[in-house]
A = this chain, B = another copy of it.
Amino acid sequence: MERISFELLARDERARRGVLHTGHGSVQTPAFLPVGTRGTVKTLGSEDLEALGAEIALANTYHLVLRPGADLVAEHGGLHRFMAWTGALLTDSGGYQVHSLSALNVVDEDGVTFKSHLDGSPHRFTPESTVEAQARLGADLVVCLDQCLPADADRRSHLAAVRRTTAWAARCRAVFGPHFRTYDYPQALFGIIQGGTDKELRQRAADELGALDFPGYAIGGLAVGEPKEALLETVALLDTLLPEERPRYLMGVGKPEDLVWCVARGVDLFDCVLPTRNARNGMAFTSRGKLVIRNAAHARAAGPLDPACRCWVCARYSRAYIRYLHQAGEILGLRLVTYHNLHFYLGLMHAMRAAIQAGRFAAWQEGFFAAYDAA
């Protein structure tokens, strides 16, 4: 395969149905990326991701660069081989984690200097070094370094972040090109749109990055504290600003209802820790809504997490047993809810793809919310 490419198969109003062709198989979109922060989706192996039918997963550059290091992963022929995963991978730039996790970080025009949250050791990401690291990790989809601000940052800061993000994107693209390869398969570079919930700044970011003609666009700077309505308006705006023929990846979003609302607004790719992190806190996602497994109501419940679910966890285990495992602090409890939640998320994406393809996404959405309590 020469390059990673995206094919738009259908639109139903603003919802899009497509396929991303990668050197690690096709990714049917809209798609949700399970988050494998440190090269494993917590509690699951790659064999579980395969069983779930996942076609793409995400890993975090920040974590992997600190440990085990891009060198060691590269020695193994890249992250796919290291984690024994045959599907596609996207890595983030690490910029978000630098801000949220590292002890101390200073942004300058040339990059960001920070201390590891593991041992306090000093590190630096530049636009070039983070793409270089992702290239060596071997992600199919690589993301430019950006500057992400909290929703309540002032406009002046947001403007500066957009300018900087554009400048960094241009540098990344100049050094690596939009398409490149480190191993025997193609890699593609995505630009990131910043701008908070300011329409003018989003327009500016989309124009500038659009002019650089990236193979795909990440939408950053959302789900960072802004009202839900502002998030949805921003996504809807970007649908009109971003090139139709390129995939759009909404970073770090979200709840099941968010996925539905944002698919309806033209998003193709999503990632979020919610189904996996919340699983470990005992929250299961079901066709009826959220379920808190530790609730006393489940202590004697012989039924599954979700009677409508077809996953092996629901076929085999009762809520009472899973609740007991969580109460007892047994690892199996974390694993079972994690698997179920990802099954729910991936099933949700599958259902949306089918509905868009059939031109009945609006009706499907109505049916979904008739059953699903998004409260």
Contact = CB atoms under 8 A, between A and B. Distances in A.
Interface of A: 38-40, 42-47, 67-68, 72, 75-76, 82-84, 299-300, 302, 312, 316-318, 320-321, 324-325, 327-328, 330-332, 334-336
Contact of A44 (B44, B324, B332): B332
Contacts of A316: 45-47, 84
Contacts of A325: 40
A57 to B, nearest CB: 13
Given A68-B324, A321-B83, A328-B38, A76 B302 contact: yes
A39 B328 CA distance: 10
Nearest to A320: B76
Contact of A320 (B45, B82, B299, B317): B82
A315 to B, nearest CB: 9
Contacts of A300: 72, 75
Contact of A76 (B82, B312, B318, B334): B318
B331 A335 contact: yes
Contacts of A82: 318, 320-321, 324
Contacts of A76: 302, 318, 320-321
Contact of A330 (B38, B72, B75, B330): B38
Nearest to A67: B328
A51 B356 CA distance: 39
Interface centre among A300, A317, A328 (most CB of B within 10 A): A328
Contact of A45 (B45, B67, B72, B332): B332
A43 B332 contact: yes
Nearest to A280: B331
Given A318-B82, A320-B82, A40 B332 contact: yes
B38 A317 contact: no
Nearest to A316: B84
Contacts of A327: 67-68
A328 B59 CA distance: 14
A324 B39 contact: yes
Nearest to A333: B40
A82 B318 CA distance: 7
Nearest to A48: B332
A38 B331 CA distance: 11
A19 to B, nearest CB: 27
Contacts of A46: 316
Contact of A84 (B47, B84, B321): B321
A43 B318 contact: no
B67 A324 contact: yes
Contacts of A39: 321, 324
Contacts of A72: 299-300, 320, 324
A320 B321 CA distance: 34
